[in-house]
Amino acid sequence: MTYLTGLLKIFVASMIVNNIILMQFLGLCSYIGLTDNMSASVGMGYAVTFVTVMAAAVTWMIDHWILIPFHLQPFLQIVSFILVIGSLVSLVEIYLKKMSPNLYKAMGIYLPLIATNCLILGVTFVISMHKLDFIQALVEAIGTALGYFMAMLILAGIRERLKNSELPMFFQGKAIAYIVSGIAALAFMGFQGMIK
Amino acid sequence: MKKLKIIWNGIVPSNPVLILAIGLCSVVAVTNFVKNALLMSFAFSFVLILSEVIVSSIRKWIPDEIRVPIFVVVIATFTTIAALLSHAYFPAVYDAIKLYILLVVVNCIIIGRAEAFAYKNGIFDSLLDGIGMSIGYSWVIIAIAVIRELFGNGTIAGLRIMPQTYQPALVMILPPAGFLVLGVLVGWLEWNIKRKEANKK
């Protein structure tokens, strides 16, 4: 029972309290770059959720079955994780193209972008730093990805409205996106302390 | 003269953070204290300059099809070195921003410069480009860190600047202010550019 509540805690913490974009600032490139288009944000959200969970599972195995037993973790962790995630993304791309062309069409353009998204690598490092077990790692990955999805939807929705409003010249373009995210982050500060 | 221009290019005209707006994660995250920003600039410059030099020196032997994985391996190697160095010499600061130092490896600026500049130019030019880009990145994050620490804590790199009676605006060293300060900075810069264009007409 305590294990289950622990899982719930990890889920809420990774999705809301330590929201990956608004509190930890990972994955900002796609967050600022893609959110001026609602459907692109949704596509990116699906693709990131999918790859994050896969990457978390695979890197957990590499970390615990290869790197730690052979005492390679401090030296080879970065190199092996980035290469694994890069090849995983290409593999997923090939598989989706063959097996489910519709899904591939929906997130095809965003998949290659993900390989260099710092969010995915960030999650795998966080999992390894906090020494989570396999189930916890998966829950953390799902929570983080959903948190990313949520933040993307929030900003995309707001920017859709901003397009029709008259902004002062100073804030036109990207500047207003940063200010809006700053205010959203202020709101998310309210969740701090919810989880000890 | 032309060589100086390569350096200057990274500092202002195509500043990686302000103009190209890439590699922003660390910019927002580590600028709450000047100490963090300094260590981050060190790690970033170390990785960027050395990777550009290495990529440029082996560029003739890299097959075109697999160049990106090779760039990534070179960058990851130097990131590991930078992370171990910072862990050894600045353990307290390293613990605070560990995640962001590890994530230098996927920083879009570094892989972008390797692809766009080092892969096509000579070793010396790449070295200069690396230095220019590093200065461009460092001055921006240190400037943001100075603003945030000064208003949020009344200090700069631990030295008290504001008088004792100053009430620190705590929000400035909390995460959201990173977005706010960066937004104002970007807005100011774009506004300047637009104003110049309007004047020309």
- Domains of chain B: which residue ranges? 2-200
Q: Does some domain include residue A43?
A: yes
Helix, strand or coil, per DSSP, at residue B23: coil
Residues of chain B with pLDDT under 50: none
Q: Does some domain include residue A195?
A: no
Q: Does B69 touch chain A (CB under 8 A)?
A: yes
Cβ contact (<8 Å) for A179 and B76? no
Q: For CA atoms B101, B96, A19, A196, give the dihedral sign.
A: positive
Q: Does B96 touch chain A (CB under 8 A)?
A: no
Taking only Cα atoms into account, the Rg of chain B, rounded to an integer number of angstroms, comes to 18
Bridge partners, B155 (sequence order): B160
Q: Does some domain include residue A196?
A: no
- Supply the pTM of this predicted model: 0.86
Return the minimum-mean-pLDDT range out of A20-34, A95-109, A178-192: A95-109
Task: Give residue for tokens 């029709």.
Answer: A164
Of B24, B26, B179, the CB nearest to A182: B179
Six token digits for residue A120? 């995915």
Cβ contact (<8 Å) for B21 and A179? no
Residue-level pLDDT at A84:
87
Which of A30, A83, A116, A123 to probe by mutation at the B interface, max B CB count within 10 Å?
A116
Per DSSP, helices labelled H in A63-133 are 73-99, 101-107, 110-114, 118-129
Q: How far apart are CA A156 and CA A181, in angstroms?
A: 11
A129: nearest Cα among B94, B98, B155: B98
Q: Which region, left, alpha or beta, applies to residue B107 given φ > 0 means left and ψ of -120 to 50 means alpha?
A: beta
Helix, strand or coil, per DSSP, at residue A9: helix
- Give the count of domains, chain A: 1
Residue-level pLDDT at A127:
92
Under a CB-based contact definition with an 8 Å cutoff, are residues A126 and A23 in contact?
Answer: no
**CA-based nearest residue in chain B for residue A167:** B187
Q: Does some domain include residue A17?
A: yes
Residues of chain A in contact with residue B25, where contact means CB-CB under 8 angstroms, are 25-29, 118
Cβ contact (<8 Å) for B184 and A78? no
Residue A113: pLDDT over 80: no
Cβ contact (<8 Å) for B25 and A28? yes
Q: Does some domain include residue A51?
A: yes
Residues of chain A in contact with residue B65, where contact means CB-CB under 8 angstroms, are none
Domain that holds residue A132: 9-189
A174: part of which helix (H) or strand (E)? helix A174-189
Q: How far apart are CA A127 and CA A112, in angstroms?
A: 23
Residue A109: pLDDT over 70: no
Number of Cβ within a 10 Å radius of residue A10: 22
Q: How far apart are CA A81 and CA B80, in angstroms?
A: 12
Q: How far apart are CA B191 and CA B187, in angstroms?
A: 6
Q: How far apart are CA A77 and CA A96, in angstroms?
A: 28
Residues of chain A in contact with residue B79, where contact means CB-CB under 8 angstroms, are 78
- The mean of the pLDDT values for chain A is 86
Q: Does some domain include residue A1?
A: no
Buried b (16+ CB within 10 A) or exposed e, A128-149: beeebeeebbbbbbbbbbbbbb
Mean pLDDT value across residues A57-78: 90
Q: Does B22 touch chain A (CB under 8 A)?
A: yes
Which of A73, A178, A186, A189 to probe by mutation at the B interface, max B CB count within 10 Å?
A178
Q: How far apart are CA B152 and CA B169, in angstroms?
A: 5
Q: Does some domain include residue A3?
A: no
Cα dihedral: B115, B120, B121, B126 (round 10): 10
Of B73, B84, B178, the CB nearest to A74: B84
> Model confidence at A107, in pLDDT bands (50, 70, 90)?
low
Which of B140, B179, B181, B195 to probe by mutation at the A interface, max A CB count within 10 Å?
B179
